[in-house]
Amino acid sequence: MKIGLWSDCHNFPSLPAMKLSAYHKSLGDEVELFFRFNHYDLVYASKVFSFTEDIDVYPVYADEIRKGGSGYCITVENGKEIFDESKNVSLPKEIEHIYPDYSLYPGYKYATGFLTRGCPRGCDFCIVARKEGKRSVQVADLSEFWRGQKEIKLLDPNLIACKDHERLLQQLADSKATIDFTQGIDIRLLTADNIKLLNQVKAKNLHFAWDNPHDDLEKYFVRYSELGKIKDHRRLIVYCLTNYNSTFEEDLYRIETLRRLGYNPYVMIYQKETAPENVKRLQRWCNNRIIFQSCEFKDYKS
């Protein structure tokens, strides 16, 4: 069979596409990234975002198209994300757990994958708990998707919430690879013991989040500052959600507190189109590292 693999991720490799490629190549099929003017027996379309164009807004020369991904099971209605469970398609086990075919994207040299899936927090604005479950559970060992690459991009939504996280952190430390935790480390779940393990991991940087201004997270950030190995604020990034159940004063408070504690706040705006102008200004000020380091918000003129 001739297989085409399409994804709406244009800036980074599609993990489902790499797994599908490995699987179909193991069956002896011919596999390539989708090219619109070729004919395929089967095309897989993987969509991450609900706002991007679908594959079949233009003609597709294929006998069959199979679609999957968050971009198909989430729609936005009146500014609210609606999750359609019936469209939540998972890869079959034998494909989900296959070693990805990294050769599909020759320009990318890192390994990538999930050690865990799911998150117990269930934040209203986030799809993870509804899509993957309200528990963080181990789904793989590192060896399932890593074979000596120098860098690993982890996609786990909440690794630290998994009961097996210490063993998984040990696997990451033992790999000696540079680890990019692309999603957040749950600051509330860091303890003296797991920070010690995290310190053994060659982390590129750490991403945390302080999304809800009503959560008093200051003491947790203080604890990581005291016990964590990374001291450079540029490598300690904290996402701060705004325009979602917070006042402007609460947004500014989180940002200033994080700066005082030696972190690098990064403003995310929920539904930016509807956000007030002062929140957009706050984002422009805070997310521009040079401006943020050089002045207070009250002195920012723009």
What residues line the site for ligand SF4 (CB under 6 A)? 119, 121-123, 126, 128-129, 157-158, 184
CB 47 within 8 A of CB 67: yes
Distance of closest approach, residue 97 Cβ to ligand SF4, in angstroms: 22
Nearer to ligand SF4 among residue 130 and residue 229 (C-beta): 130
Q: Which two tokens stand for residue 251?
A: 């947004």
Q: Which two tokens stand for residue 11?
A: 């800036």
Distance of closest approach, residue 118 Cβ to ligand SF4, in angstroms: 9
Beta strand segments in 200-253, E: 202-209, 236-242
Longest dimension (CA), the chain: 63
Nearer to ligand SF4 among residue 35 and residue 83 (C-beta): 83
Distance of closest approach, residue 301 Cβ to ligand SF4, in angstroms: 33
CB 294 within 8 A of CB 286: no
CB 261 within 8 A of CB 222: yes
User: How do strand 80-83 and strand 111-113 relate by DSSP bridges?
Assistant: unpaired
Nearer to ligand SF4 among residue 21 and residue 158 (C-beta): 158
Distance of closest approach, residue 184 Cβ to ligand SF4, in angstroms: 5
Distance of closest approach, residue 74 Cβ to ligand SF4, in angstroms: 13
Distance of closest approach, residue 169 Cβ to ligand SF4, in angstroms: 18
Q: What are phi and psi of 46, to 5 degrees?
A: -115, 120
User: How do strand 236-242 and strand 264-269 relate by DSSP bridges?
Assistant: parallel
Beta strand segments in the chain, E: 2-7, 30-33, 42-46, 65-68, 74-77, 80-83, 111-113, 116-117, 137-138, 151-154, 178-181, 202-209, 236-242, 264-269
Nearer to ligand SF4 among residue 188 and residue 289 (C-beta): 188
Nearer to ligand SF4 among residue 53 and residue 215 (C-beta): 215
Nearer to ligand SF4 among residue 120 and residue 228 (C-beta): 120
Nearest to 230 by CA among 195, 193, 188: 195
Nearer to ligand SF4 among residue 158 and residue 175 (C-beta): 158
Distance of closest approach, residue 182 Cβ to ligand SF4, in angstroms: 12
